Chain A
C-alpha cells in the first residue's frame, strides 16, 4: 500500500517537472519568436543609429550573442540553483522582484475567489432550488452581468464612481503591502478584488446551478427525501456535497487563472502584482524576467492543480469509495 502511494508521488513529481520543463521551452521559444529584443525595446527606433561595433557591444552586454541552446540551459541551470536572473531595468534580481509581486497577486486572488464564492455558490443554489422561477432569474441576471461586462469597463467605471462620489481612491497612494499597512492595503485591494470577484462569480454560479440541478435528479436524493431527511440537511449535505466536484474544479481553474490573468485590473488599479511584472518584462523584452516569472506562475498553477486533485479525493464520494 505504501509503495503504491510512493509510486504515485514519484509520478506526480515527475509529471510536474515535465510540465515545468514544457513551459520553460514554450516560453523561451515564444519570447524569441516575438520580433525585437532588449536592445530595440530599450532604444526604440534609435537602435537604427547603432554602429555594428556598438550593436555587438550591447549584444554582449545583454548576453544575446550566445547560441540559443546555451542561453536556454544556462537560464534553466540558474533557475534550479535559485538564480532567477537579473532585471537590468529595475536593478534587482528577478527573485527579489517575484518575492514582492507574487504575494500581492496571491492576496488579490484569494480575496477575489472568496468574494466570488460568497456570491456564486449561494446564488447558484438559490437559482437551482426552483429552476426558471423568479429566484432563478435573479441568479441568471447576476451571472449574465458578470459574464457580459468586460473587466476593464467595470474597473474604470468603479474607480471613477468611487473617486468622484465618495472621494475614495486608495490606489492613488503608493502601494502598501499587507505587512506595512494592513488597513491601506485592504482598501487598495477592495476594488480590484470586487471587479475580479464579480467576473468569477458568474462561472461559479452557473457551475453550482448546473451541478445542483444534476445532482438533484439522481435517485439518492429522492431516496433521502423519502426517508425524511430534513430539507436543509438534504440541500447542504447531500446535494451540495455531491455537487462540489465541478464547483471545486471551476474554482481551482479560476484561481489558477487569476495568478497570471489579473494584468488588466492590476494595471488600472496600480497593483504591483506578478501579471504586471510579466507585462513589463514583455514590453522591455527582458527575457530573464519573463521566463522566470512565467515559470513561477506555472509552478503556482501546478500546485493549485495538485490541490484541486487532492480535494477530489476528499470530497467526491465516488472517488473516495474506490
Chain B
C-alpha cells in the first residue's frame, strides 16, 4: 500500500474513493444510515436535496442518500463475487488451454466459444427468469458472461510465452508443467489479468446496474443502484436528483475501481518495479 502511495497518485485517488464508498456501504450494513432505505413516507415525496435529505427524496418519500448508500453495498457485493469467480475460473482455463493445447485446449475452447457466441442479453434474461433471483445468482450470471473473456485474454499471451526461450529452458530442466505455469507463465500474464480484473470489476458494476435497469437485477424494494436509475428514469423532469444521485454514485464507483486498478497494475507489474 505504501508502494502504491508513492508510485501512483491516480491509484491513491481511486483507493480513496473506494474507501469512502466502502465506509458508506458499511454504515448501511450497520444500520447507521440517516433513514431506513426501504420505509416509505408519502407526505415528504419529491423533496429536493437539503440538509435534512442530502440527496432529496423519491416518489415514495424515501431518502435517496440512504438508498444509494445501501445500493453501493449491493453493487459491490455482486461485482466482487462475480469477478472473483470469473478471474479464478477464467485464468485457470486460459493457462491450461494455452499451455497444454491439444485436447484441453479443444475442450475449454469449445465451451468458451459456445458461451461467447451467445448474446449476453439472452443469457442474462434466461438466467434471471430461470433462477431464483437473489444477489448471489445475479453474481453467478454475470460471472458466466465474464469467464470466457478471461480465458481468451490470457490464452493468447500464454501461447506466445510458451515459445519463449526461458520457458522452453524451464521445460528442459524437468520442472512439472504446473510448476512452470505457476512460476514462469502466470507471473508474466499478471499484468494482463490485473488489468482485466480492474476492467471487469467496473464492467460488473455496470452490468449489475444494467440488469437491474432492465428489471432483472436485485428484486425491489431492496435498493440497487441500477433499479434506482430504473425507477428514476422517467422522473428526470420532476425530480432530477432521483436520477442524478444514483447515476453519479455508479460513475464514481466505476471511476474509483478503474483508478485503483491502474495503480495496482503500475505497482504489481514486475517490469515496472524499481523503475522511475
User: Taking beta carbons and an 8 Å cutoff, which residues of A are in contact with B?
Assistant: 15, 18-20, 22-23, 26-27, 30-31, 33-35, 131-132, 140, 143-144, 147-150, 152-153, 203, 206-207, 210, 213-214, 217, 245-246, 249-250, 253, 256-257, 260-261, 263-264, 275, 278-279, 282, 290, 294, 297-299, 301-302, 305, 312, 316, 318-319, 321-322
Partner of A253, one of B110, B149, B250, B271: B149
B255 touches A22 (CB 8 A): no
A19 with B160, Cβ < 8 A, contacts A33-B130, A214-B191 known: no
* Residues 109-124 (chain B) with a chain A CB within 8 angstroms: 109-111, 113-114, 116-123
Minimal beta-carbon separation of B80 from chain A (angstroms): 17
B157 touches A245 (CB 8 A): yes
> Please, which residues of chain B bring their CB within 8 A of the CB of A294?
118-119, 122
Partner of A140, one of B164, B199, B250, B262: B262
A319 touches B160 (CB 8 A): yes
Main secondary structure of the interface of B (DSSP, over half): helix
B206 at the interface (CB under 8 A from A): yes
Minimal beta-carbon separation of B136 from chain A (angstroms): 19
Closest A residue by C-beta to B236: A156
A210 touches B195 (CB 8 A): yes
Partner of B114, one of A22, A263, A312, A321: A22
A150 touches B106 (CB 8 A): no
Assembly CA distance A256 to B120 (angstroms): 12
* Residues 200-239 (chain B) with a chain A CB within 8 angstroms: 202-203, 206, 209-210, 213
Closest A residue by C-beta to B207: A150
B28 at the interface (CB under 8 A from A): no
Interface string of B137-178 (1 = CB under 8 A from A): 000000000000100110011011001100000000000000
> Please, which residues of chain B bring their CB within 8 A of the CB of A203?
199
Partner of A147, one of B116, B254, B266: B254
Across the A-B interface, the 4 shortest Cβ-Cβ residue pairs: A260-B119, A298-B117, A22-B114, A301-B117
Can you report 15 A-B residue pairs in the complex whose CB atoms are below 8 A from each other? A22-B113, A23-B117, A30-B126, A143-B258, A148-B258, A150-B213, A207-B195, A214-B191, A245-B157, A246-B153, A246-B192, A260-B120, A294-B119, A316-B160, A318-B163
B271 touches A214 (CB 8 A): yes
| Contact count band on B | 35 or more
B109 touches A148 (CB 8 A): no
B268 at the interface (CB under 8 A from A): no
User: Taking beta carbons and an 8 Å cutoff, which residues of B are in contact with A?
Assistant: 8, 10, 106, 109-111, 113-114, 116-123, 125-126, 129-130, 149, 152-153, 156-157, 159-160, 163-164, 191-192, 195, 199, 202-203, 206, 209-210, 213, 247, 250-251, 254-255, 258-259, 262, 265-266, 271-272
Partner of A34, one of B130, B199, B210, B213: B130
Partner of A148, one of B121, B130, B157, B202: B202
Q: Given A148-B206, A217-B272, A301-B113, list of 11 further CB < 8 A pairs?
A: A15-B109, A19-B113, A19-B114, A23-B118, A27-B122, A132-B10, A147-B254, A257-B120, A264-B210, A298-B118, A302-B117
B195 touches A305 (CB 8 A): no
A34 touches B126 (CB 8 A): yes
Assembly CA distance A316 to B10 (angstroms): 32
Minimal beta-carbon separation of B257 from chain A (angstroms): 9
A22 with B111, Cβ < 8 A, contacts A34-B130, A147-B254 known: yes
A246 with B202, Cβ < 8 A, contacts A19-B114, A23-B117, A26-B118 known: no
> Please, which residues of chain A bring their CB within 8 A of the CB of B199?
147, 203, 206
> Please, which residues of chain A bring their CB within 8 A of the CB of B149?
253
